[in-house]
Amino acid sequence: MGAEAERTVERALGGRLWRMAGLAAVAGLAWTARDVPAQLGGRLAGARAERAARSPRFRDGTFHNRADTRTMVADPGRNVLRELIFGKQKRRPTAAVPLLRPAGAPADDSDRELSIVWYGHASALIEIEGRRVLIDPVWSERCSPSAAVGPRRIHQPPVRLEELPPVDAVLISHDHYDHLDMATVQGLVAHQSAPFLVPLGVGAHLDRWGVPAERIIELDWSESHRLDGLTITATPAQHFSGRGLRRDGTLWSSWVVAGAHRKVFYTGDSGYFDGYAEIGAEHGPFDVTLMQIGAYDRAWPTIHMFPEEAVAAHLDLRGGLFVPVHWATFNLALHDWAEPVDRLWAEAKARDVRLAVPRPGERVVVDDPPAVDGWWQSIA
């Protein structure tokens, strides 16, 4: 075979290899993105859309906060994207986060029992007067519409989803991926029988993911649902929603869980606002508050609280014990991994606020909480 003929064959083979590589890349992308359409969830339609339209929070096709807010605030001279990629912050711990497996349920199963099990990020179990309420459960490896890209867990869940005890209700604060996870929801449908209590519109996502209609309870702010001796109330928050390009097509909320004798408040995601004092006046005092302390930045100051603001909100709410959530598990902001809890501990001491900082999986008995021991500092 002559040299020119060999070059022709090589070019043909090279072109074929490039085409095969291109097809393989496309196939790989398609495989990676196969679950994305389902992960985006559903959209408001029919009776659900009609109910949303009647909400005081809904106008011009979307839900709104009580006050004007912006998800990003201009910061002249600062490049947030560059800081995200090249910033020097210590956004991950230096060693493994210590995990605990919750011991058996407290021996005191009376109408006064109250404890919290924190699983990481915003996922927690409220054990109140013999009932169990699971909040914002996320057990997936990533909080993202894709299983291949997006924020990945810093630590694993301390227990498997199927190892959870039977729960009486599942509360969802809003539809962001770090609070509402398709695989976790589907796992709970398979392994639990509890209803899902969600803000208006979020039921559309659950519908698409196969949650039976009778297990979906949607509430507007100030609406309550009675369940096995508990009163669960959706209360205001200052945040936003969205799983795709469309924003604010579903509502966001905080939650009040009240038994006959004990009360719990959970912020969901929120900036600091005057609604906390109103919630405290109407529903407080609270035995314990579960407060968002992480993923803040001066670029989005009105939709996530700084730790000092979380302490102020806790006092507005007339809270007893403060248990921080929304930190340690996913890297969602630019601050150091341990900065939220360091700032929280300092502010709690300065303002004489009772504080418990559990390890993931650790049960906190509200009437006898463990002393804060700074466990995170050795791995920060």
* Percentage of the chain modeled with pLDDT above 90: 82
Does the pLDDT value for residue 277 go beyond 90?
A: yes
Residues 285 and 165 in one domain: yes
CA–chain centroid gap for 357, Å, is 18
- Averaged pLDDT for residues 21-50: 72
| Domain assignment present for 215 | yes
pLDDT in tens, 167-187: 999 999 999 999 999 999 999
Does the pLDDT value for residue 19 go beyond 70?
A: no
- Averaged pLDDT for residues 308-324: 98
Does the pLDDT value for residue 24 go beyond 60?
A: no
| Domain assignment present for 263 | yes
Residues 22 and 162 in one domain: no
pLDDT in tens, 359-373: 999 999 999 999 999
25-29, 224-228, 303-307: the lowest-pLDDT one: 25-29
| CATH code assigned at 215 | 3.60.15.10
Predicted confidence at residue 85, as pLDDT, reads 83
Does the pLDDT value for residue 6 go beyond 70?
A: no
| Domain assignment present for 193 | yes
* Percentage of the chain modeled with pLDDT above 70: 89
Residues 9 and 132 in one domain: no
Determine the structural domain holding residue 19 and report its residue range: 1-33
Scored b (16 or more CB within 10 A) or e, 289-312 reads bbbbbbbbbebbbbbbbbbbbbbb
Predicted confidence at residue 72, as pLDDT, reads 85
Residues 23 and 127 in one domain: no
Does the pLDDT value for residue 331 go beyond 60?
A: yes
Residues 138 and 26 in one domain: no
Residues 129 and 256 in one domain: yes
Residues 169 and 280 in one domain: yes
Residues 26 and 122 in one domain: no
Q: In the block, which residue shows the tokens 């604060």? A: 173
| Domain assignment present for 83 | no
| Domain assignment present for 255 | yes
CA gap 261, 60 in Å, rounded: 41
Residues 27 and 123 in one domain: no
| Domain assignment present for 61 | no
| Domain assignment present for 39 | no
Residues 184 and 298 in one domain: yes
Number of domains in the chain: 2
Scored b (16 or more CB within 10 A) or e, 193-219 reads ebbbbbbbbbbbbbbbbebeeebbbbb
DSSP state of 142: B
Residues 126 and 273 in one domain: yes
DSSP state of 379: G
| Domain assignment present for 332 | yes
Residues 12 and 148 in one domain: no
